[in-house]
């Protein structure tokens, strides 16, 4: 029987961060992944020779000295990463009712840009953006407070957070902003946490907005660029990663987690078990309700999972820059009523209608210039869906039947109708198109009901009400989007927190300072900023595309 210090179930960025930290601390670590490639939502795949990343669309706070930059340095993976800075003048393009308003990098530039477009709201814009920044700063400060005096003075240190924490995003925005279009622009990044303004927790939205105040960055190689750097770091430190290893059960003995049972019946034992799976999958499917307290069973029964998606993977044979496409993301909304859009997407049949009321769209071959073959451009286009709308396919062992294919064709046509509004003639230049559904998310990511952000980020499921890294079962730990936070950065930090809980130290202790680590960042829009090897990669791709090996 195999024995390890720690087994990590799932190779998302949270699970890999845990494994790296423990391996560096001298533990024998085994990471088990049910998919045939590692990465969870961070993985990439190829379709017709073109790469797509379903879960990683951009990352924030990557400039020197900022938190994500320090995170990658501290994990010892910065030297293996390259990022491209997205359009400085519009890393987000808000296309609402056929008008496009860009979000530039820098809170001061954003304030100036919005004030020019909405001069009557100038004072309100300044006040609101300052509030968002302060609430986020105070939110980040809370877990760092130490000692009696700091804890006593929490109300004074976090006055903005305390005043608005209990209110929805919609309510706070309505208090500060009058113009409906401006409200929609300020709320548009709701897509990054998956809740309509009327449901969204205001501090969570502040955290998302602040994460991107200084712009968005895209990893070279897509999400797999980050995963490759993390798996290499794990192996360098003696850790082991195995794919196509589905964990069926966490072995519990005397109220302790002692090992796992795989699908083929093999048992592997460890002193610690870390699950990067959803809490419901971890506790109810792999542990079993009979091993849980009444309190935890009740919490699981009340847990709601975040929104799920329909995602289009599209390759076009045309110069999309002629249609104004660049490295910035596009958030397309039919009009200013984001709450109505969410409601439509959640209550109506996804396959009905001619187009979607809201979607997210990005061109990865412009965000990652090294991936462009000189002719084809790749797009990932996402909208939200209600898992219940797939009721006809949910209970089928093999849902890839005729009805499912018809459903997918209708969805693809709706997406293309939206895309035509941004890229006229796109339908006539399709090289390949594929659709990911909530069933796809379940199959490849093993996410509950195909969710994309772990638990739903409502007030009663975040912060102190989220799932803890250390579980009530001895030697069982959790990481991932349902614990500390979601997103690439949040999930990675959750993994470090899980490792710290195992090692009995602070998370900051596991981020090792190393002056040799340096993140390479280039401007996606400025070819002059690219090193020679980026141009060499592009040339190689062009040559292979023109002269394919038969």
State the SS3 of 379-439.
EEEEEEECHHHHHHHHCCCCCCCHHHHHHHHHHHHHHHHHHHHHCCCHHHHEEEEEEECHH
Task: Decide if 458 contacts 169 (C-beta within 8 A).
Answer: no
Task: Decide if 399 contacts 415 (C-beta within 8 A).
Answer: no
pLDDT value at residue 459: 87
Residue (of 91, 124, 118) closest to 182 by Cα position: 118
pTM reported for the whole predicted model: 0.95
Fold of 85-105+307-452+525-550: Polyamine Oxidase; Chain A, domain 2 (3.90.660)
pLDDT value at residue 156: 53
Residue pLDDT, tens place only, 24-54? 999 999 999 999 999 999 999 999 999 999 9
pLDDT value at residue 394: 58
Give residue limits of the domains in the chain: 2-56+222-304+455-510, 85-105+307-452+525-550, 107-211
Residue pLDDT, tens place only, 346-381? 999 999 999 999 999 999 999 999 999 999 999 999
pLDDT value at residue 464: 84
Residue (of 21, 15, 34) closest to 442 by Cα position: 34
SS3 state at 270 = strand
Task: Report the CATH superfamily, name and number, of domain 2-56+222-304+455-510.
Answer: FAD/NAD(P)-binding domain (3.50.50.60)
Could you give the angle at the alpha carbon of 168 between the alpha carbons of 388 and 216, nearest 5°? 80
* Strand-strand pairing, 329-333 and 92-96: parallel
Q: What share of the chain is helix, strand, coil (3-state, %, to 5)?
A: 45, 20, 35
Residues of the chain with pLDDT under 70: 141-157, 392-400, 548-550
- Identical fold for domains 2-56+222-304+455-510 and 85-105+307-452+525-550, yes or no, is no
Counted residue by residue, the chain has a size of: 550
């Amino acid at each position: 029987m195999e024995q390890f210090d720690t087994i990590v179930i799932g190779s998302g960025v949270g699970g890999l961060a845990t494994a790296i930290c423990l391996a560096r601390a001298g533990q024998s670590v085994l990471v088990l992944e049910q998919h045939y490639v590692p990465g969870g939502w961070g993985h990439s795949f190829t379709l017709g020779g073109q790469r797509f990343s379903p879960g990683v669309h951009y990352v924030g706070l990557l400039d020197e000295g900022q938190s994500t930059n320090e995170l990658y340095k501290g994990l010892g993976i910065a030297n293996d990463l390259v990022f491209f800075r997205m359009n400085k003048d519009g890393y987000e393009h808000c296309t609402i009712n056929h008008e496009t308003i860009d979000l530039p990098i820098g809170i001061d530039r954003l304030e100036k840009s919005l004030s020019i477009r909405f001069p009557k709201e100038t004072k309100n814009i300044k006040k609101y953006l300052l509030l968002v920044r302060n609430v986020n700063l105070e939110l980040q400060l809370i877990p760092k407070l130490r000692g009696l005096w700091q804890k006593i003075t929490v109300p004074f240190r976090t006055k903005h957070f305390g005043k608005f924490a209990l209110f929805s995003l919609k309510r706070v925005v309505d208090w500060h902003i009058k113009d409906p279009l401006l409200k929609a622009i300020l709320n548009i990044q709701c897509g990054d946490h998956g809740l309509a303004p009327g449901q969204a927790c205001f501090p969570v939205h502040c955290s998302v907005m602040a994460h991107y105040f200084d712009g968005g960055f895209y990893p070279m190689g897509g999400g797999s660029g980050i995963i490759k750097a993390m798996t290499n770091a794990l192996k360098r430190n003696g850790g082991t990663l195995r794919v196509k290893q589905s964990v069926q059960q966490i072995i519990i003995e005397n109220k302790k987690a002692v090992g796992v049972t795989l699908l083929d019946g093999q048992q592997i034992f460890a002193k610690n078990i870390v699950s990067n799976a959803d809490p419901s999958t971890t506790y109810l499917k792999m542990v079993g309700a009979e091993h849980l307290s009444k309190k935890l069973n009740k919490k699981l029964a009340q847990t709601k999972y975040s929104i799920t998606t329909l995602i289009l993977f599209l390759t076009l044979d045309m110069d999309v820059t002629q249609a104004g496409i660049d490295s910035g993301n596009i958030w397309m909304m039919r009009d200013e009523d984001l709450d109505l859009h969410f409601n439509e997407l959640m209550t109506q049949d996804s396959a009905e209608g001619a187009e979607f009321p809201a979607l997210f769209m990005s061109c990865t071959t412009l965000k990652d210039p090294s991936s462009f073959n000189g002719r084809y451009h790749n797009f990932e286009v996402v909208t939200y869906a209600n898992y219940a709308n797939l009721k006809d396919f949910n209970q089928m062992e093999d849902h890839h039947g005729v009805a499912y294919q018809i459903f997918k064709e209708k969805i693809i046509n709706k997406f293309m109708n939206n895309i035509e509004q941004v890229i006229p003639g796109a339908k006539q230049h399709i090289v390949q198109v594929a659709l990911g559904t909530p069933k796809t998310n379940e199959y490849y990511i093993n996410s509950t009901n195909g969710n994309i952000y772990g638990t739903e980020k409502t007030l009663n499921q975040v912060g102190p009400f989220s799932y803890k890294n250390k579980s009530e079962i001895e030697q069982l730990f959790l990481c991932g989007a349902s614990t500390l936070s979601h997103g690439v950065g949040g999930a990675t930090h959750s993994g470090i927190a899980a490792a710290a809980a195992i090692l009995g130290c602070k998370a900051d202790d596991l981020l090792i300072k190393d002056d040799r680590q340096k993140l390479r960042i280039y401007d996606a829009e400025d070819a002059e900023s690219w090193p020679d090897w980026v141009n060499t990669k592009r040339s190689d791709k062009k040559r292979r595309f023109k002269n394919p090996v038969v």
